[in-house]
Amino acid sequence: SDLSAALGRVQRIRKVCGRIESKARQEIQRGLQELDEEEQSSSDQVLSFLDASERYTLEEV
């Protein structure tokens, strides 16, 4: 009983982690595509975009 509950929690944690990783990959890919399209050259702009993307990803999870 305790073992099955623990296994259930582990499975849920793994599922959530998988969703987080998938969302992060999607956001990174989308961010890179937008960077290519806009041809941003300033490293400050890139860092600002990555910070915004990270905040968005964390809000969605």
Task: State the pLDDT at residue 22.
Answer: 96
Residue 47 domain boundaries: 2-60
Task: State the pLDDT at residue 20.
Answer: 96
Domain count, the chain: 1
The two tokens of residue 58 are 């964390």
| 3-class SS shares of the chain: helix, strand, coil, % to 5 | 90, 0, 10
Task: State the pLDDT at residue 42.
Answer: 65
d(CA 9, CA 24): 22
Per-residue model confidence as pLDDT tens digits over 23-55:
999 999 998 888 887 775 666 777 888 888 888
Higher pLDDT, 56 or 16: 16
- pTM strictly above 0.75: no
Task: State the pLDDT at residue 40.
Answer: 56
